[in-house]
Amino acid sequence: MSQMNADSEQRSRTSRWQTPGEGVRAEPSAHDVTGLRRYRVAVVTDGTAVPGRGEGGVAAALRVVDGKAVLLTRLAAIEAVPVFVTPTGTDEFVATVRALASSFDGIDLEAIAAPACFEAERRLQETVDIPVFHDDQHGTAIVVLAALRNALRVVGKRMESARLVVIGAGPAGTATVRLLVAAGAADVVVVVRGVVLHRDDMPSLPPHQARLAERTNPRGVRGGLAEALAGADAALGFTPALTRGLVASMGEGPVVLALAGPEPEIQPHLISDIAAVVATSHAGYPNQVSTALAFPGVFRGALDARAPRVTMSMRLAASDVLAGLLPREALSATRLLPELGDDRVVPTVAGAVAAVAAERWRSRRPGPGGVPEQGADRSVSAQKGVGP
C-alpha cells in the first residue's frame, strides 16, 4: 500500500471512530504504543445524551465511550477504560465516579445530558484531585474556537469585532460561548429554543443560561433567530435551526458552522453560494470539526504536567495552537483545521496544555512523560497567540 493510500485510510478510520452512529471496536495496529502507556483514564457515561439518539441506552452509550477510549489509546498513548453508569440521578452518578476515581489518573465524561452534566462535572472536579473533562463541552469548544478563528482569518475578520451567533445552549453551546468570551469575542448573541438570551430575562432562566445571558448580547438584541442572525458574521449551530433564508440575511462573507449531529442541520451544498465558509461535525464534508483534534492532547498534556484540573487557560492554549498548525498560506474555505491523522496535533496540543499547567502548578512533580517541549513558534502568550 502506498504512503498516500495508507494516510487516507488512517484519516478515514479516525473519522469513523469520531462520527456518531459508526461502529467502533479496538483493533490491532502496527503502530500500537502499549509499551508507552503510563496513564489510565476512565471514559464515563450515563447514556443520557448519545449523539443522534438522546437517551440511547447501554449499547449506544458504550459505542460512544468505546470510540473515545480507542482514540485516547491510539493518539495519546493513554490507557482508557469505558465505564457505563446507570442513570439514576446526579447524586448517584457523582458518588459512583468519585468511588472509581482513585483507580484512574483522569476522568473523561461523555454523552451526559444538560443540565446534569454541568453539575456533575463541577462537583466531581471539586472533590477529586485529577482532571475531570467533559469532552462534549470542552473538547467541542476548543475545536470550534480554532475553526472559527481560522474561518475569520479566511474572510479577513477579527474575533474581537465579529458579530457571532450561537444557536443552542446545551453542553457544547454553553462551553463554546464561555470559551469565545474568554478568547476575546465581544459580540456574542445566544439563541435558545428560538429566543435570544437577554440580561433582563435572567431571573426566569435556568442557572447556566442565566450566566450566559449575563455575559453576552451587548447590543441588547431582542427577538428570535432572524433578529439575531441579521447582519451577523458567523453562525455556530448546535441544534437544527438554520435555513438558507436565515444564512442569506447574515452579513457579507458569512461563516457557518453547522454542528448539529449526526447530520448537519443544513447541507453545505445548499448554502455554498451564499456562505463564504461552511464547516460541520460530519466526516463526509470538508472542515470536519471533531473533538478528536482536542481531547487526546489535552489529557496527555494535563497528565504529563500532573495538573489536578483542566483550566480555561489550558483550553485556550489548546485551541490557539490547534488553529496555528495551519499557517495562513495553507488556510482556505475548505481547510480550516489539520487532518485527524496529522501526527503534529496531539504533541502540539499536549505541549501547550502542559506548559500552561506547569506554570500554574510549579510545585507538582512532572509526570513520567515529563512536560513535552513546545516549539518557540507555537507561543500561546496573549501577545503572540495565533490569530488574525
Residues noted as catalytic: 68
Reported as half-sphere exposure (CB side, CA atoms, 13 A), residue 82 has a value of 20
Closest by CA to 149, choosing from 326, 344, 310, 11, is: 326
Cβ(19)–Cβ(262) below 8 Å: yes
Contacts of 18 (CB under 8 A, 6+ apart): 67, 71, 283, 290, 291, 292, 340
The DSSP 8-state label assigned to residue 386 in this structure reads S
Cβ(258)–Cβ(280) below 8 Å: yes
Give the Cα-Cα-Cα angle 7, 19, 116 (nearest 5 degrees): 140
Distances (CA, A) of 280 to 91, 147, 165, 259, 324: 35, 10, 16, 5, 20
81 strand-pairing partners = 42
How does DSSP assign 127-158, residue by residue? H-SS-EEEHHHHHHHHHHHHHHHHHHHHTT--
The C-alpha cell that represents 144 in the structure block: 470550534
Distances (CA, A) of 322 to 78, 145, 150, 297, 310: 20, 9, 10, 10, 17
* Main-chain phi, psi angles of 200, to 5 degrees: -70, -15
Three-class SS of 289-304: CCHHHCHHHHHHHHHH
Strand arrangement of the beta sheet that strand 132-134 belongs to: 79-84, 40-45, 106-110, 132-134
CA of residue 143 relative to chain centroid, distance: 5
Closest by CA to 360, choosing from 295, 294, 310, is: 310
Closest by CA to 165, choosing from 256, 243, 245, is: 256
285 CB-contact burial (10 Å; exposed 0-12 / middle 13-18 / buried 19+): middle
